[in-house]
Amino acid sequence: MVEISKVVEQNLWWRFGCDFMYYDKIMKEYEDAEVKFERKGIDLETSNIYAIHGLRQVGKTTEIKKKILWLLRDEGVDPDSICYFSCQTLVSRRELRKVLDFFLDKLAEHERIYVFLDEINFVKDWVLEIKGLADSDKFDRVVILFTGSPFGIKVHTHELIGRNVEGNRYFLRPLSFRDFVLQVCQQCHSLTSDRVLERELGILPENLSSNTVSLEEPIEKIVPFFRRMLKFDASLRFLFNIYLKTGGFPSVINDYLRSSRVKERERVKPEFYERFIELVTKDALRQGKSDRTMQQVISAIIKKFGSRYDFRGLTEEIEEPISHPTVIDYLRLMEDNFLVHVLYSYDFAKKMGRSKGMKKIYFTDPLIFHSFNSWLRGKPGYSYSDEFTLDEDKVSLLVESIVGNHLARVKEVPIIKPADRFLWFYYDARKELDFVYQRENGEYLGIEVKYKPKVTFKDVATLSMPKEYLILSKREFDTKGDIAIVPVYIFLCLLESSGNNL
């Protein structure tokens, strides 16, 4: 059984109020970081259940602790009415019930209580306890927020429908390039000896924060926004080259900034890559999977990275005898856990995605890609990423992956609008188009990634549909009718994620 002393130990604000931040390990790390990354906030109301789906190491616990500090400091909430528990230490639903009962006893003294349950997916059948609380007469005085790995809570959260979880599901993913740029500029200026670039980095956030593009608008209306950011080409290119190595994991970005400042050779410690792989494989084992089989599937994905193929073709890339259904099972698990994104092809005649056609598989963040390569090759993660980004042909595939993942976030809403409702790629016997984005009015925008020195308007395979195209280049900018060539880093920095992506 869970000891009450463990519950008390995890709720330092009961004793210290706002000063808990000086004793809490997570908050001390946050305060000591090079950059204190901020995410979108969530308004918490009683009689509501909030779910945050997020990868391990992406900052879910940090966001909870920051929210608790905000409730104490800015909202004046009584410390005793805020309850937190990390479910990683629980081994049974019965223990979760005891923790919840301990928290609910506080309702005798408080009008409302805030219950934060971190990594709830570690408890088998946890959803039954949340349902029981939501169906009780106490729910109108309780706020529940829980976090977990995407797969671990996705498969059960639908059981809470009708209990005020609708509209309250959020994704916590690695930072987008836009968020990366807006928050790291002030720390990156010390990484260059170029005084002009240093000054440019200092004023970039102010200029960027008021500029975004909507892909719902026609090309002619969004091109001026691209042109406006061209004056920051040098700083955005500088930052994008860093993002290609660090991705959007806050802890990794901070380690890169710290190591760069003191000129360490390995700009990101090997431990970050090792820890990520260890957590991914442990989660796979907890879900009845084999880490060896997962490694084989990942290896096959990397061999076909950037190419279109069907699942049987992926199976053929695996040397060990693994069945076609097994590969699909592992791939779906990785997709549900936000490790990969499966992009389906589109049929313009039927106006729908082709579930049985060829597919593309992208890793959802550069760090995930580099970590898996480090795992497969037995090479330090940062050394691998540093070498990889020098190979223009290889890095272009990673850039295509980054673009795909950013496009998927634009209109994404849990359950209602997953990415495969508005984003695909296209191919036929003669042509291929990297991305087909469907606007709300039913029209299409074609997007082609050409991360190479020289780009022309002929580098996109124009079709009868879409009518408009963006070619994302390495550095070039040009426009001609319904086609625009735009540096990929300028495109990405102006792209906002949906409100459900924190």
- Residue labelled with tokens 């061209």: 230
Q: What is the pLDDT of residue 443?
A: 96
Q: Look up the CATH number of domain 4-172.
A: 3.40.50.300
Strand 113-118 and strand 82-86: the pairing is: parallel
Query: Residue 460 half-sphere exposure, CB side, CA atoms within 13 Å?
Result: 29
Give Cα separations from 51 to 171, 333, 411 (angstroms).
8, 19, 19
Q: Where in the chain is the domain with CATH 3.40.50.300?
A: 4-172
Which tokens go with 328? 């699909």
At residue 480, the 3 state secondary structure works out as strand
Which tokens go with 240? 């994008």
Alpha helices in 108-248 (DSSP H): 126-134, 150-157, 177-188, 195-209, 219-229, 233-246
Q: What is the pLDDT of residue 1?
A: 65
Q: What is the pLDDT of residue 66?
A: 97
- Secondary-structure breakdown of the chain: helix, strand, coil percentages, each rounded to the nearest 5: 50, 20, 30
Q: Residue-wise pLDDT tens for the chain (502 aa)?
A: 678 888 999 999 999 999 999 999 999 999 999 999 999 999 999 999 999 999 888 999 999 999 999 999 999 999 999 999 999 888 889 999 999 999 999 999 999 999 999 999 889 899 999 999 999 999 999 999 999 987 767 767 888 888 999 999 999 999 999 999 999 987 887 788 889 998 999 999 999 999 999 999 999 999 999 999 999 999 999 999 999 999 999 999 999 999 988 888 889 999 999 999 998 888 888 888 888 888 999 998 998 888 888 877 788 778 777 888 888 888 888 898 899 999 999 999 999 999 888 899 999 999 999 999 999 988 888 998 988 888 888 899 999 999 999 999 999 998 889 999 999 999 998 899 999 999 999 999 999 999 998 999 999 988 989 999 999 999 999 999 999 999 999 999 999 999 999 9
